[in-house]
Amino acid sequence: MARQNWGATWAGTGDAYRRLADLNINRKEYDGATEAWLCALTAFEVARRLVADDDPRRADVSAKVEDGLQRIGLCFGHEVESLQIACGDLGAFLAYYLPAGTPNSRTPAVICVSNEEETGVTLLGRLLPVLIGRGMSVLVLSHEHIANHARGGSQIVLSYCLDHLSARPDVDSSRIGIYGDGLSASLATDFAVYDRRIAAAVCDGGIWNWTRSRKSIDWMTSTDDGAERNMEWGRRSLLARLPKCPILVVAGGRGVVSVSEAIKLQSACMAERIEVDLVLPQLIRGGLCEEFDNFVSSDDRTFRWLEQKLAREPIAERVVG
């Protein structure tokens, strides 16, 4: 019950910021309206995580996020575009494109794929507060539109998305990255291996597929899961399937990679001179001994890393802690 009450409180906070944004728009105070809308989107995301899946308020909060994404464009001058991405025989699907807002220059871009429990518009609502001012465009997709294909289909669909971005006059085709949230982190790894045009990847480093393969082999051969020879085989197999671009693994929290697995991967990659960085979780302790992932901090560190790796000129190295 306490969790539901906190969800209602955060939803009410989002509503208050939304009213403030409308008031600032009426006054033509667009900077203040933008700030208020960004605060509203963050509050709605917190509320959405706190209420139960079957709670009607969850759908109501999601609808407010979608409305906010359309209206916030009035504040900072470039609106979210709804696009139909055609993928040949695989059909077409809806995506959301947020331009960087610098029409006279070609900027980096990131393909962002939501986790398995969320839609693309929900992910964009969560990310928008950390995207403003970074000078990069994003194309946001739903996990279900990418993952629900036969083997290899997800890579083909994502290649069409990459083709779309590469053809846009406001995007630098040599500086396109990919970010996969939740199980989509595995799709991001596979795609970065498949399509070498990707310049940076926020992914699972192949751990999800490697773990499933290792467990299947152990089960079929009745071997000890902790046997050193299996670990050595697995480590070599995993490293061989890594992307050739810089990668960032978001470990812990709601992701699919545990902190211990991520640290072992980074250690093995260092020995092979493979560039792998980590974002480790910052957990917030709530009531009843519950812990919540500080998604604001994690998203900020993730997109700082992407901003650095996709910069035209190398910028000062910053710790992704």
pLDDT of res. 281? 77
pLDDT of res. 7? 84
Q: Are residues 198 and 246 in contact, defined by beta-carbon separation less than 8 angstroms?
A: no
Q: What is the CATH number of domain 78-206+242-309?
A: 3.40.50.1820
**1-77 has CATH 3.40.50 classification:** no
Kind plus residue range of the DSSP H or E element containing 112: strand 107-113
Measure the CA–CA gap between 169 and 171, rounded to whole angstroms.
6
Measure the CA–CA gap between 178 and 111, rounded to whole angstroms.
5
pLDDT of res. 164? 96
The residue ranges of the chain whose pLDDT is under 70 are 1, 73-77, 101-103, 213-237, 240, 283-292, 313-321
pLDDT of res. 49? 85
Q: Are residues 207 and 259 in contact, defined by beta-carbon separation less than 8 angstroms?
A: no
Q: With the CA atoms of 32, 33, 37 and 43 taken in that order, what torsion angle do they form, in degrees rounded to the nearest 10?
A: 50
Q: Are residues 260 and 288 in contact, defined by beta-carbon separation less than 8 angstroms?
A: no
pLDDT of res. 319? 42
pLDDT of res. 309? 96
Measure the CA–CA gap between 111 and 149, rounded to whole angstroms.
18
pLDDT of res. 75? 66
Of 134, 132, 140, 143, the closest CA to residue 41 belongs to 132
Q: How far is CA 252 from CA 54, 133, 192, 226, 278, in A?
A: 26, 27, 22, 22, 10
Q: Is 50 helix (H, G, I), strand (E, B) or coil?
A: helix
Residue limits of CATH 3.40.50.1820 in the chain: 78-206+242-309
> Each residue of 83-108: pLDDT tens digit?
999 998 888 999 999 998 666 789 99
Assigned token pair, 75: 């504040």
Residue limits of CATH 1.20.58 in the chain: 1-77
Kind plus residue range of the DSSP H or E element containing 278: strand 276-279
Assigned token pair, 33: 């309206």
